[in-house]
Structure 1
């Protein structure tokens, strides 16, 4: 199914094509939800229990930093996952990579739920925890690019943003499930029971979710763009080498776009707000279950704004939608801590929900935006590596940086300024790129796709 065979705007696709597209959308939502449920469960636990269970001998303050560092360490291995997934995804297809990354993530997450603590096996416990987090990082590095391309490359030209929002909304749904499950366990097993066994249950549930996700993804047809690339035998022997030889500046700028969103998003998805607001020794000391419930509720706003941003980008264009999103996100950054620091759970919920709206508008269109930036033959490598590098520059150590800033300055305004700076970086990177909304994605248009969208560059 090439670009030329997609129906024109306003026409109706054949019934079997519509069915296939619905299956793709469902599969990308379900698979991405499961992947990010697993990833966020770890971040939630890092903010709530890992400091005392795996790093207690380091002392409370250092243990918290070490716990958040394990969240960030996994990001350093995302590029490895992106390199592997990009290489094999561009050579052998999107679907096989999606199935493998889903299984790897699920196995690693389930094993975290079975880990003995430091009190049981000593230093071996945090070492094993870190190794399993590394496996999660490798999986996450390869997951998103494949899901994004499956959704966008199956989409009609005028609805790429909407279709591409399907893997994007899997992220807030994953956060909603992760926070919701942790909230439930905090209620069912309060206090010491949560530390002893309650936190483990969400990790063990991953095994069931992974079976569902695996079944759904195996039923999806391969990306039509990849099938065209394979039929024309235009696959690149070493896609990663070709990517950096021809498009290195584009990769860096695209990574900075995502970094601006990711650093801010990891205030909740990385567990920072949960730890800051519920720490018994902290300035707020709010009830853990209430904070988790507020984060769960805010994920609904993130989901809605993410889906809306994908739809809006098909009408306004990706670039304009991003600019709107950066302005909304900046407003959310400056509203966040004044509301959180009131110590009132209702205002904390309002703060993270306002932020979630801006986050959605700098995330929902990303699948279509990234897919339209790179040529077909190296697209999987381009989107995966840009995404992985953006995650390192953005969210990898955002909770650790925020913790260190508050410890050194004794004010959350330092964190707000850091997040505002990252937002401005994302805006600046967006303005460096031309809008390519609607560009043909098939291999017949490789020459057009290879013209750099970076202002000032036009080499092929």
Structure 2
């Protein structure tokens, strides 16, 4: 019998609702910490850590430090995936959340370049690297705590409570930044006000304590442990070297899973960092208004993520991903045409429509990517796929956009880049087998994903 001090994650009832709430809150604060850096990199860090550079070079250097977090994410995914497949999903999640909260808090305490010179950006990059490792490990763990503990017919819906942490993280970051800029003068904000959002990350630690003391590991992982304890052999037991196994035997699924994220990641990071910098520096728009528009589009995106994940339990995972990718292909050029009008209402239309298609693609991916891999290598496999997309697409997108605009004076090639990323996602979705086909959806005893990992 379960201890009254722990949450039994059996996929139903109050326990599952508590787990989904904990996953949503923990993921939201974790991504708040990670994305907060992107907003600061566009608006603050060029002035604080690169004050002697030109406006363009300061922005490029700031986004280069932003990219450092994405370089670190695959490392965090590899390490957390390895230990998460061997020792449990929960311990890996707890360590990652602690690392993220600590690194973000310390960024808020960093001296500026005016105080300690070149050491300031070095320390900034180091802490950003720790942020990246933590983000790289936490996504797979939180997603698996949710999906592996859910009712088999509601895995897509349950997974969205980890996915919605992304737009909610952006919303939290934007609200805090808007409040700080509204309450302070520009001089005060650049001097010390920007630190407050980073120091606020301390609220993550009660969530860590809750997960550590109140949440059990997933039924899927417990089943693997039980097989080992009974000296069971075969494909079901805990993998001795999950990382090596998934790379050696499932590299194609890793690459296809990475490609599933190309469209959603590129558009998302353009909207929260690249276009924010472009609109303020090149179009002369005020960043308070831009942050407000980004906040509204993120609210819409969160709703679409919830809807698309739940819908994937009814119609399959692939249709939502395919429709979202096609939508981004069609919207890529109108997106930048509207942004280039330098009109806030047009900017809102651009980023909100993009958020709809991007979120439609992103919502089902927690369940879809989990179901692609067998439980014994699942944490390693989906973390590698997700974080490979982070280093190849996500982190470099704002830098690529800034460099393209600087060299061409136009956003046309940025739109071409978005189309290319969306075509990659479309191709990968078509190449992968549906993990929740009609035969599974209509069979009350069937579990999604079994055909895909067979």
Give the TM-score, by structure 2 length: 0.92
**Correspondence for 1:274:** 276
1:340/1:237 CA distance change after superposition, 3 Å: same
Is residue 50 from structure 1 mapped to residue 53 from structure 2 by the alignment? Answer: no
Once the two structures are superposed, residues 441-460 of structure 1 have per-residue CA deviations (whole angstroms, 9 ceiling, x without a partner) of: x9x99985544xxxxxxxxx
| Cα displacement (A) at 1:349 | 1.2
* Aligned-partner Cα distance in 1 for 2:93–2:211: 7
**Correspondence for 1:86:** 81
* Aligned-partner Cα distance in 2 for 1:30–1:90: 24
1:151-300 counterparts in 2 under 5 A?
151-207=146-202, 209-218=203-212, 219-233=214-228, 234-269=237-272, 271-279=273-281, 282=282, 284-300=283-299
1:98/1:107 CA distance change after superposition, 3 Å: same
1:448/1:295 CA distance change after superposition, 3 Å: closer
1:449/1:257 CA distance change after superposition, 3 Å: closer
Q: How many residues align?
A: 433
* Aligned-partner Cα distance in 2 for 1:30–1:162: 16
* Aligned-partner Cα distance in 1 for 2:309–2:378: 20
* Aligned-partner Cα distance in 1 for 2:44–2:337: 26
* Aligned-partner Cα distance in 2 for 1:355–1:331: 10
Aligned residues of 1:256 and 1:393 also touching (Cα < 8 A): no
| Cα displacement (A) at 1:36 | 0.2
* Aligned-partner Cα distance in 2 for 1:261–1:325: 8
**Correspondence for 2:97:** 102
Aligned residues of 1:303 and 1:360 also touching (Cα < 8 A): yes
Deviates more, 1:366-375 or 1:66-75: 66-75
**Correspondence for 1:4:** none
Aligned residues of 1:20 and 1:221 also touching (Cα < 8 A): no
CA RMSD of aligned residues (A): 2.2
1:331/1:180 CA distance change after superposition, 3 Å: farther
**Correspondence for 1:389:** 388
Is residue 436 from structure 1 mapped to residue 435 from structure 2 by the alignment? Answer: yes
1:264/1:15 CA distance change after superposition, 3 Å: closer
* Aligned-partner Cα distance in 2 for 1:447–1:355: 33
SS in 1 for 2:405: helix
SS in 2 for 1:155: coil
**Correspondence for 2:421:** 422
| Cα displacement (A) at 1:57 | 2.3
Aligned residues of 1:89 and 1:97 also touching (Cα < 8 A): yes
* Aligned-partner Cα distance in 2 for 1:429–1:330: 15
Deviates more, 1:48-57 or 1:228-237: 48-57
1:160/1:445 CA distance change after superposition, 3 Å: closer
1:15/1:56 CA distance change after superposition, 3 Å: closer
Give the TM-score, by structure 1 length: 0.90
**Correspondence for 1:3:** none
1:359/1:15 CA distance change after superposition, 3 Å: closer
**Correspondence for 2:69:** 74
**Correspondence for 2:311:** 312
* Aligned-partner Cα distance in 2 for 1:447–1:182: 45
Aligned residues of 1:330 and 1:358 also touching (Cα < 8 A): no
**Correspondence for 1:457:** none
| Cα displacement (A) at 1:260 | 2.3
1:417/1:394 CA distance change after superposition, 3 Å: same
SS in 2 for 1:394: helix
Aligned residues of 1:91 and 1:236 also touching (Cα < 8 A): yes
| Cα displacement (A) at 1:27 | 1.2
